[in-house]
Chains A and B, each alone.
Chain A
C-alpha cells in the first residue's frame, strides 16, 4: 500500500507570496493532519480534516488555511508568506479521528524556504 505522498517536495517562495501544498493520504485513510516542523519550535500541529471538515486547529495565524476534498486529499495554503514560515510541512493520515484509531502516518514533507 502506498504511503502518504506530498507535493511538491521542495519550494522556494518570496516574502509576501502565497503557497499551496498538497497531500494524498494512504488509501482508505480519511483523516488528514498537517504539522509544521522547525529547528526552534519542533513539530507543531496546524489543523486536522475529516470528511472535508476541519475538525481541529492549532495555534497558528489565519494566514494558514487548509481544505480537504471528497477523495480525502488535502491542501494547505499559506498567504502573505513571512521568513518565519520557512519550515518542513508534514502531512499525516489516519483511518479516522477519534479514540478508535489514533495511529498517524506521516509523509516525507514539503520543505518550504521563504526568502
Chain B
C-alpha cells in the first residue's frame, strides 16, 4: 500500500514531442505528489509538485495531471528538448513524512 508504481521504465521521444510519464498509488492518505529530475552524478531536483485538491498544475513546459479517483498522476513535458534527457522520479508523501519514490523513468530526447 505504500508503493508508488511508475511507468514506463524508459522513454525515447523526438525533439519537440511530448513526454508522458505515469504513476499510480494505493494509499489514499498521500497528500503531496512531487516529481524530481535527476541527471547523472547529481542529486534529484524538485521539478513540480501537486496536492490532491488540484487536478492539474503547469509550470512552463511541465504539467502534472492528477486523477484522484483513479489514484494516478502523470508528468507531461511539452516540446521536449535534448536537455530534458534525464531520469524522472515521481513520489508521494503523507503529512510531510518520508517521500515514497517510484522506480524512475529514463527519458532520452533525440535531436
Contacts and interface: CB of A to CB of B under 8 A. Distances in A.
Interface of A: 4, 33, 35, 42-45, 48, 56, 58, 90, 92, 94, 97-109
B43 A90 contact: yes
B96 interface: yes
Contacts of A107: 43
Interface string B1-44: 00000000000000000000000000000011010100001111
Interface string B71-107: 0000000000000000001010101111111111000
Contact of B43 (A99, A100, A106): A106
A35 B104 CA distance: 15
Q: Which 4 A-B pairs have the closest CB atoms?
A: A106-B43, A45-B98, A43-B101, A102-B32
Nearest to B89: A43
Provide the main secondary structure of the chain B interface: loop
23 contacts: A4-B43, A33-B98, A33-B99, A42-B89, A42-B101, A42-B104, A43-B89, A43-B101, A43-B104, A44-B101, A45-B99, A56-B97, A58-B98, A90-B43, A90-B44, A92-B99, A97-B97, A99-B96, A101-B96, A104-B46, A108-B41, A108-B42, A109-B42
B43 A42 contact: no
Contacts, number: 61
A105 B46 contact: yes
Given A42-B102, A42-B104, A43-B89, A102 B96 contact: yes
Contacts of B102: 42
Contact of B95 (A48, A99, A106): A99
Contacts of A56: 97-98
B54 interface: no
Given A42-B101, A43-B89, A56-B98, A102 B43 contact: no
Given A98-B95, A102-B93, 18 more contacts: A42-B102, A45-B98, A45-B99, A48-B98, A56-B97, A58-B98, A94-B96, A99-B31, A99-B95, A99-B96, A100-B96, A102-B96, A105-B46, A106-B43, A106-B46, A108-B41, A109-B42, A109-B43
